[in-house]
Amino acid sequence: MEFFQLLEQRSSCRSYQRKSVEESSVQKILSAGSKIPTPSNAKQIEIIRCGETELEIVKNRMESGYESALLKWEKQEAAKKVRNRIRNYYRFSNFMFEAPELFIITAKERKSISDLFLENGIIEEKKIDEDAITAGISLMSMTLTAEAFGLKSCILTAPLFYLENPKIDGNRILAFFCFGYEQNIPPTAKI
């Protein structure tokens, strides 16, 4: 498929068929997300492909984060609008558990040039989040590769709101990426 057509047709998907994704496509998507430019060739991005165990861990941690967000809302006596946002963003998070494939995009703990300059008083504040930028490159690469295989996907950062300590194996979690074959929801009948 032509590259510009891929860019044109790309869109996020939040509902997937049960059909599993061919292993060769999953591996190509993983490779596209890993073979990316990184600052000072740090190769700091690690992508975790979720199996049953990881799914269970993340799901449980998110559920308790959601409960505690609602409790905090109650304590703060914040506006109803805030509670609605807590609920909405949770819905915009947990559909990822129904996707045939779910990746966690993480960054290895390391000392970047920014950290070195900061520690030594060369700069007063961190100017950029290189890991977040690199994760974005990885995510876009995977998104377009998925499209090329006729798959649909979604990038997610909302789940991070519900994770108390967004780390896995000591690595910082930056985003989630789910994909599969799109579920075509029939249009609601007009009456």
Ligand X SMILES: Cc1cc2nc3c(=O)[nH]c(=O)nc-3n(C[C@H](O)[C@H](O)[C@H](O)COP(=O)(O)O)c2cc1C
156 is a site residue for ligand X (CB under 6 A): yes
14 binds ligand X (CB under 6 A): yes
* Site membership for ligand X, residue 9 (CB under 6 A): no
Q: Tell me which of 6, 48, 137, 158 binds ligand X, using CB under 6 A.
A: 158
Residue choice 44, 112, 138, 157 for contact with ligand X (CB under 6 A): 157
Other CB atoms within 10 A of residue 94 CB = 18
Q: Whole-number minimum distance, CB 61 to ligand X, in Å? A: 16
Minimum distance, C-beta of residue 91 to ligand X, in the bound complex (Å): 8
* 45 φ/ψ angles, rounded to the nearest 5 degrees: -85, 130
Judged by beta carbon, residue 21 or residue 174, the one nearer ligand X is 174
Question: Rounded CA gap, 150 and 25, in Å?
Answer: 10
Contact map string, positions 119 to 138, toward ligand X, x by CB under 6 A: --------------------
Q: Does 154 bind ligand X (CB under 6 A)?
A: yes
CB of 140 to ligand X, least distance (A): 8
* Residues at the site binding ligand X, with contacts judged by CB under 6 A: 11-12, 14, 92-93, 154-158
